Amino acid sequence: MANDILLYGLKGSPFVRKVQILLAEKGVDYDFEMANPFAPTDWFAALSPARRIPVMRDRSIGAEGVAGTLPDSSVICAYLERKYPQPTLYPTGAFDYGRALWLEEYADTELASRVGLGIFRPAVMSALMGKAPDLERARKTLSEDLPPLFDYLNEQAHGREWFVGDALSIADISVATQFGNFRLAGGKLDASRWPHLAAIVGRMLARPSAAHCLEQEGKLFKAPEAWC
Ligand SMILES: N[C@@H](CCC(=O)N[C@@H](CS)C(=O)NCC(=O)O)C(=O)O
């Protein structure tokens, strides 16, 4: 029998992986269907007005068309938290909750744009599009654009096992999924310079929920020879 949850997207997307990690942490089985936002079919364009992935369908709400679908990883994760409350992945205290949402937003926008456009695209995607990898661009992103973000996240991670409170939350998942693309592209995070960030990211990516996704994706995406 089909699962309630169906996720549309592509492997290699940090936002799709974010939802997959959350589902795995909650122990929810789901189906996956490929949808390409760069060449959207009419049916997919109707589900994703912003022409982005992921989109989720809850078949218990609607099995066809737009009914039962939600776009955007943050919206989907928040929905899944309500539908499957255990284990909770959003802090309960008001300020911790706000801080987790902020770190999710920061990862989804600031970190995602640098890692996606500045590392993953030039180092990995260009080869898939038949172009030589632009490793100069990737090196520049790593040496100039990312350090202020790593500094900030390292400070946020200081003295903590997880980014918020004392439990794994959406903040850890959101930050770590961006580092998933960084890792797939062969990026190395300098743990001597950013030890607290490296510890949380390492802890999160080693969990079966994330490790399983990255193992599958590692078969699809080839990192260039050591470039950093
Ligand atoms: N805020 C969105 C961002 C999703 C997003 O940008 N996804 C990328 C793939 S990683 C996409 O669909 N890009 C299509 C495009 O830029 O045309 C979310 O959290 O789901």
Domain boundaries, the chain: 5-83, 94-218
pLDDT band of residue 31 (cuts 50, 70, 90) is very high
The tens digit of pLDDT for each residue in 33-65 reads: 999 999 999 999 999 999 999 999 999 999 999
For ligand 1, atom 17: residue with the closest CA: 38
Q: Is the pTM of this model over 0.75?
A: yes
Mean pLDDT of 140-168: 98
Mean pLDDT of 18-47: 97
How many angstroms separate the alpha carbon of residue 71 from the centre of ligand 1?
10
pLDDT of residue 36: 97
Average pLDDT, the chain: 97
Mean pLDDT of 166-174: 98
Pocket around ligand 1 at a 6 A CB cut-off = 13-15, 37-38, 51-54, 72-74, 108
Cα 152 to Cα 68, 97, 117, 157: the distances in Å are: 38, 19, 20, 9
> Which token pair is 123?
């180092």
Distance CA 111, CA 105 (A): 9
**Model confidence at 118: pLDDT above 90:** yes
How many angstroms separate the alpha carbon of residue 56 from the centre of ligand 1?
13
**Model confidence at 172: pLDDT above 90:** yes
Pick the CATH number of 5-83 from 3.40.50.720, 3.40.30.10, 3.20.20.70, 3.30.300.130: 3.40.30.10
pLDDT band of residue 1 (cuts 50, 70, 90) is confident
Domain 94-218 = CATH 1.10.390.10: no
The tens digit of pLDDT for each residue in 94-113 reads: 999 999 999 999 999 999 99
Q: Is 175 exposed, middle or buried (0-12, 13-18, 19+ CB in 10 A)?
A: buried
Mean pLDDT of 210-224: 96
Distance CA 171, CA 178 (A): 11
56 - beta bridge partners?
7, 70
